[in-house]
Chain A
Amino acid sequence: MYEILEKKTLSENVKLMRIHAPLVAEKAKAGQFVMLRIDEKGERIPLTIADYDRKKGTVTIIFMEVGKTTKQLGTMEAGDKILNFVGPLGQPSEIEKFGTVVMVGGGVGIAPLYPIVRELKKAGNYVISILGARNKSLLMLEEEIERFSDEIHICTDDGSKGVKGFVSDVLQKLIDAGKKIDVVWAVGPVIMMKVVSDLTRKYGIRTVVSLNPIMVDGTGMCGSCRVSVGGETKFACVDGPEFDGHLVDFDNLMLRNQRFVEEEKHACKLLERRGI
């Protein structure tokens, strides 16, 4: 059992939790993820690691309440325990001195972006961060990310904070201004990662995306998370979750993420009926 040590509400349906999981914290690296299961009847879901503290033995997760499991998790409080919490899984981000890196985070994708920003800054990169969300209340970790960024740009779809527009608009402006960019990281909704990858492809800028497809075991056993990368089938859980954005078949990924939409809706409805 893994105790929730701290819970924070970042926005109406985005929660942060610090979980006591010393073995996971000990090995966690930026870009990796965990699989968790709340209780005996629960589903196993993947969540990208938002932070870790090896000394305290804790792992931070940030999640948006979108499905049955995340909604139920959102009702849990500090002191409650999660039945299973496995990790760190997947390949860590490639951290080295690239030169100038642009870190694009969209919505809840800003959370897993944070440790990558931090490690890339520590590795000596010039870090430009672009954070975007639908509105102000869905932005997060701005201060933390700013601390490890040389430049930070904020944008919202409705203009409630920063520039009104999409992260790709901001990125386009940086490119137009003649900024020499060595690598772009894009973490967020699939459509955002697709748009960013389509943009950088035109300029030949290497782009890393972090995928979050449906998983069951998270250890390479089931192939539920398979994605087509450069025409080859890869498992996001063991080969990823990060891939070359220019090679990922995002359209197929979007369709595969819809596999259990009806079942999810049904499960959420039952949860609501129970008053959760």
Chain B
Amino acid sequence: MGVKKEKHKMPEQPPEERIHNFNEVPLGYPVEVAVEEAKRCLQCKNRPCTKGCPVEIDIPDFIKKIAEGDFDKAVEVLKTKTSLPAVCGRVCPYENQCEGQCTLLKVGEPVAIGRLERFLADYERMKGVKPPKIPESTGKKVAIIGAGPAGLTCAGDLAKMGHSVTIFEALHAPGGVLMYGIPEFRLPKEIVKSEVDYIEKLGVEIKYDIVVGKTITIEELRREYDAVFIGTGAGLPRFLNIPGENLNGVYSANEFLTRVNMMKAYLFPEYDTPIKIGKTVATFGAGNVAMDCARTALRLGAKKSLIIYRRSEKEMPARAEEIEHAKEEGIEFKLLTNPVEFIGDEKGVLKAVKCIKMKLGEPDETGRCRPVPIPGSEFTLDIDTALIAIGQSPNPLISQTMKNLKVGKHGNIVTDENGRTNIPGVFAGGDIATGAATVILAMGAGKRAARAIDEYLKSK
């Protein structure tokens, strides 16, 4: 067999250049490379890749069409299962999903499914997205709370089934974490806008500036709509709860990223929202959000950007590609290190962090080795800015204002695998149900909930 063992490389902006701009890092496959890569696919009968996809995309089918050069048909196949291909083609953890199941792994690297998905989505956008066919109306109305990945996917699928869908969004922009969380250099906001535009063309209406639980209640929505889907995400930032955390210069990852991404603080003073970045920036945590913070800090002009993490490299929850990109850009990793106190000057401005060295102990309930402090190993690092990226909890606003809704011990809304809550006609999915996870898992939850909502509406 003459199958090339490695994926075709995707061109990228060189690190020394990209740390000075917010433009996208990977540049996408050129047409001929995409076709060559598509030809690596073995077209397995048992389709392990599709089984690995949370939204069940018919992967071998769209890849076959790319190999044949029929990109329009390929787009059609792709879009029957996902309304956000340009997003998924950039931020999905393919290595654990579709690509993680690829038969080619036995001989080398998997087919670059993520890059091919991205190629198709970009091809379609350049060409001008074909307006979708709007099906006949069922006369049923569904309210969706939150215009993030779960809500948008659920809305798109329900609209394709002919239901009338209205999304209620608290912020002034759509996309949820795609807009406020993921940086421009990883997911350009124009792409989010164009994907949202497609969903609106399906007939979905988005109402902004509406905080459900405050501006209107879920009970009011239930009176007006036949079903409600809650996709309000994991918006509540976690803090370290150590002394000095309220000093000036300590930000939650959410505040830092929202200022920069959604409010465009990197363009201050053209945009009104400011951000302050010091010479040395320390990000605490080692997930994708932490990598986004550390890399954003560099682009804002930090001389030194550190990742401080209490376990070792092996346990870092970020995707391999994100860690790789961060390393290429010169992010320093201080592993097996835990902060114990932030130290400020007389004006309440952060100037240092006291840390302690850790070693790995016995595995905990997550299966990862528990980090244990090494007594007497404390040391102080001079830093100007601290970014806390140790995770987010589900947003409590709705569960607080809807007393009979069943909520788990972490504040997550309890649902079955199809998003049904304990209240008939009320569905939930994404981070609000699972706790902070990935974009694609939220999309998968939105998709399954759409099916369950459709069943519910038909049975009414």
A residues 202-229 touching B (CB-CB < 8 Å): 216-217, 219-224, 226-228
A252 to B252, CA, bound (A): 17
B residues less than 8 Å from A41 (CB atoms) = 264, 270-272
By a CB distance below 8 angstroms, the chain B residues around A255 are 248, 347-348
B263 touching A266, Cβ below 8 Å: no
Most buried by A among B209, B210, B245: B209
Contact call B395/A223, Cβ cutoff below 8 A: no
State in angstroms the CA–CA spacing of A84 and B214 once bound together: 16
Complex Cα distance, B55 from A249, in Å, reads: 48
Q: Which one of B134-142, B233-241, B325-333, B421-429 is at the interface?
A: B233-241
**By the criterion CB–CB under 8 Å, are B252 and A267 in contact?**
no
**B-side binding surface: helix, strand, loop or mixed?**
loop
Which partner residue on chain A sits nearest B213 by CB separation?
A219
Binding stretch for chain A, among B14-22, B43-51, B253-261: B253-261
| Contact (Cβ within 8 A) A226 B246 | yes
> Nearest A residue to B255 by beta-carbon distance?
A222
Inter-chain contact A221/B235, CB cutoff 8 Å: yes
Contact A219 B211, CB 8 Å, known A83-B172, A255-B347, A256-B246: yes
Distance in angstroms from A263 CB to nearest chain B CB is: 4
Asked if B272 and A69 sit within 8 Å, CB to CB, the answer is yes
State which residues 157-177 of A face B: CB under 8 Å: none
| B396 and A220 within 8 A (CB) | yes
A:76-127 near B, CB below 8 Å: 83-89
Q: How many residues of A contact B (CB 8 A)?
A: 42
Closest to A225 in B: B255
A244 close to chain B: CB less than 8 A: no
B459 interface residue, CB < 8 Å from A? no
B456 in the interface (beta carbon within 8 A): no
Partner of B237, one of A222, A228, A264, A270: A222
| Contacts A43-B263, A85-B209, A252-B246 given; does A220 touch B214 at CB 8 Å | no
Contact digits for A9-53, partner B, Cβ 8 Å, 1 yes 0 no: 000000000000001100100000000010001111000000000
Expressed in whole angstroms, the Cα–Cα distance for A137 and B288 within the complex equals 53
Are B263 and A216 neighbours in the complex by a CB distance under 8 Å?
yes
Cα of A43 to Cα of B269 in the assembled complex, Å: 11
Contacting pair A84 B397 (CB below 8 A): no
B274 contacts A264, C-beta separation under 8 Å: yes
26 A/B residue pairs, CB under 8 Å, sorted by A: A23-B216, A27-B216, A41-B271, A42-B272, A43-B263, A84-B172, A86-B170, A86-B211, A88-B215, A216-B258, A219-B211, A219-B397, A220-B395, A220-B397, A221-B180, A221-B235, A221-B254, A222-B237, A222-B254, A223-B237, A226-B246, A233-B241, A233-B245, A263-B268, A263-B269, A266-B269
